[in-house]
Amino acid sequence: MKQNKPIIIGLTGTIGSGKSTCSNILKEKFNLPVIDADKIAYQVCEKDNKGLKRIVEEFGDEYLLPNGEYNRSKMSETVFNNPEALEKLNKLLHPIIKEEKERQLNQHKDKNIIIYDCPLLFEANEDSSVDHILLISADEELRAQRLKERNGYNDEELQRRTQAQLSEKEKLSKADSIIFNNGTEEQLEKTLAQFLRNLT
């Protein structure tokens, strides 16, 4: 018997844990709809979209490139060491992002399970908007190795990006389910299959 509404799984993980790989497996191998928080945040700030219009209203047209697109690098510089500017940006974008998220959720309301892929699930207080939190974790040394190989990060950049997120210990304490991704992609797929069987 089909349930009345889908189970929304909040998928998250510290940078380098393999959350994106997990998200791809859930979409490609298990045919689950994935709503990507990062993609939504990007889309609402594309040229002529509502988010970019609000940014220009609040911050000025110097945050537009000559072709009318969002000057993301200038905004990154502005908010990097300015918590007030970052808070202002988040406050004006959050309702727009939430509206788009709800629209995408409604597109999949006939499904049993929906994955909400959100790296900053806890930091953005989005954990209360999902039914089940799945945390992808990995050993600290392995996370660092992956990021150095994949993104070319040095130790300073690694530390800065890790510190921008909630600590691994805090995330582990808040998650409903945890998958430790220290092995191969094949092992991860098997573990995800078991997780889905247990969930349903």
Q: pLDDT for 135-184, tens place per residue? A: 999 998 888 888 888 777 787 777 777 777 788 899 999 999 999 999 99
Give the mean model confidence (pLDDT) for residues 95-117.
Answer: 95
Taking each continuous run of H as one helix and of E as one strand, the counts in the chain are 9, 5
Domains contained in the chain, CATH given: 8-33+111-200 (3.40.50.300), 38-107 (no CATH)
Question: What is the strand order of the sheet 113-117 is part of?
Answer: 34-36, 113-117, 7-13, 132-137, 177-180
- Size of the chain, expressed as the number of residues it contains: 200
Question: Would you place residue 1 in the very low, low, confident or very high pLDDT band (cuts 50, 70, 90)?
Answer: very low
Residue 132: which residues within 8 A CB-CB, separation 6 or more?
A: 7, 8, 9, 10, 176, 177, 199
Q: What is the pTM of this model?
A: 0.87
Residue 155 CA to residue 10 CA, distance in Å, equals 29
- The DSSP code sequence of 61-117 is GGGB-TTS-B-HHHHHHHHHT-HHHHHHHHHHHHHHHHHHHHHHHHHTTTSSEEEEE
Q: In the numeric block, which tokens belong to residue 119? A: 């790296």
Residues of the chain with pLDDT > 90, as a percent, come to: 72
State the pLDDT at residue 143.
85
Q: In the numeric block, which tokens belong to residue 49? A: 């979209």
Q: Which of 26-30, 43-47, 56-60, 150-154 has the lowest mean pLDDT?
A: 150-154
Give the mean model confidence (pLDDT) for residues 95-121.
Answer: 94
State the pLDDT at residue 3.
58
Dump pLDDT digits (tens) for 170-195.
999 999 999 999 999 999 999 999 99
DSSP reduced 3-state for 60: coil
- For residues 110, 129, 38, 121, the Cα torsion angle rounded to the nearest 10 degrees is -140
**What mean pLDDT, rounded, does the chain reach?**
91
